[in-house]
Amino acid sequence: MSLKLGWLEQYEPIYLFWSGVILAVLLIIFLLITLFWPRSQSLYLHQKSDGQVTVSKKAIEHFALSALQHEPFIGNPKVSSKLSRKGITLKISGDLLNSVNAKQQTANFLNQLKKDLRICLGISEQKKIKIRLVDFNELDANVHKSRVV
C-alpha cells in the first residue's frame, strides 16, 4: 500500500528552503546579540602615559561605603556596583534617618561622592558615574507602635 500525496511532493522543497532561511536569520541575530551584549567588568583600568591603575569592583564599593558610614542621615548602608567600559554605576540602599533637608543633604553627598571617585580613581569626564538610591526605608521616631500584638 502506497500513499500518494501530491501536495507533499510539491510543497516540501519550499517548506524546507524557507525554514532553513528563517533558522539561519535567527542564528545570525543570536550571534550578534551575544557579540555586542555589554559585559560587566570586575576591574577598572585607568591608563596614563606615566602608568596605569587597576581598581577592583570591591574597592569602589568599600570606598563608597566608608563615605556613607560618616554621614549621619543614612543608616545601615549597603552598596553594590557595576563596572563597564563606559562608566560606573553604584546602587546605594539603607535607612533614611530623620533630618532637616534630607533630600538636599543627600544630593550634596552624592555630588561630593562623584567628585571624590573622579579624583581618587582619575576618571575622565568622558566616563559616566551614576549613583542611584534604591530601597530606602524611612525611619520615624515619632511613630507609635502598638503594645498589643
Q: Output the pLDDT for position 30.
A: 97
- Same domain for 70 and 127? yes
Q: Which residue has the higher pLDDT, 12 or 148?
A: 12
Residue 81: which of 137, 41, 122 has the closest Cα? 41
Considering the domain boundaries, does residue 141 fall inside one? Answer: no
Considering the domain boundaries, does residue 63 fall inside one? Answer: yes
Considering the domain boundaries, does residue 32 fall inside one? Answer: yes
Directed axis angle between helix 57-69 and helix 102-121, to 10°? 140
Mean pLDDT of 59-82: 84
In the chain, % of residues over pLDDT 90: 15
Q: Output the pLDDT for position 141.
A: 46
Owner of C-alpha cell 532561511: 21
- Same domain for 23 and 66? no
- Same domain for 108 and 72? yes
In the chain, % of residues over pLDDT 70: 77
Considering the domain boundaries, does residue 15 fall inside one? Answer: yes
- Same domain for 20 and 79? no
Q: Range with the lowest mean pLDDT among 29-43, 46-60, 68-82?
A: 46-60
* Range among 30-44, 55-69, 89-103 rated most confident: 55-69
pTM of the model: 0.60
Mean pLDDT of 57-68: 87
pLDDT digits over 29-50, tens only? 999 999 988 776 666 666 667 7
- Same domain for 28 and 75? no
- Same domain for 73 and 114? yes
- Same domain for 69 and 113? yes
Considering the domain boundaries, does residue 97 fall inside one? Answer: yes
pLDDT digits over 105-134, tens only? 778 888 898 888 888 877 777 778 888 877
- Same domain for 17 and 84? no
Q: Output the pLDDT for position 142.
A: 46
Is the confidence at residue 53, as pLDDT, over 90? no
C-alpha cell at 135: 530601597
Domain limits for position 90: 57-133
Structural domains of the chain, count: 2
Tell me whether residue 92 is exposed, middle or buried, using C-beta atoms within 10 angstroms of its C-beta: 0 to 12, 13 to 18, 19 or more: buried
Please check whether residue 57 is in contact with residue 42, taking contact to mean a CB–CB distance below 8 angstroms: yes
Dist CA 118 CA 107 (whole Å): 17
Considering the domain boundaries, does residue 52 fall inside one? Answer: no
Residue 92: which of 129, 64, 128 has the closest Cα? 64
Considering the domain boundaries, does residue 96 fall inside one? Answer: yes
Contacts of 125 (CB under 8 A, 6+ apart): 118
